[in-house]
Amino acid sequence: MPRPRSSRQFIEFLRDLVAAGDFQAVIDRTYGLGDIADAYRFVESEQKAGIVVVEVVPDEGPST
């Protein structure tokens, strides 16, 4: 398969891989939003082997 040359072609390429079941994301680590600085440091360390996920949990509002 030829390498995509534009952003649009790349997005279509990824879409086709996902649709065909040929794309497998590798999640290296998951951080909570409160640990965003640690997540950023880890990414900047160039030691990551996959995707770094930052979980954003909606505010539940005031407790009663």
Q: Which helix (H) or strand (E) is 3 found in, with range?
A: none
Q: In tens digits, what is the pLDDT along the chain, a chain of 64 residues? A: 566 678 888 899 889 999 999 988 899 999 999 999 999 999 999 899 999 999 998 766 666 5
Taken as a whole, the chain contains a residue count of 64
Q: How far is CA 22 from CA 5, 19, 29, 46, in A?
A: 20, 8, 22, 26
- For the entire predicted model, the pTM comes to 0.59
pLDDT at 2: 66
Q: How far is CA 6 from CA 11, 13, 22, in A?
A: 9, 10, 21
Q: What is the token pair recorded at 21?
A: 């079941």
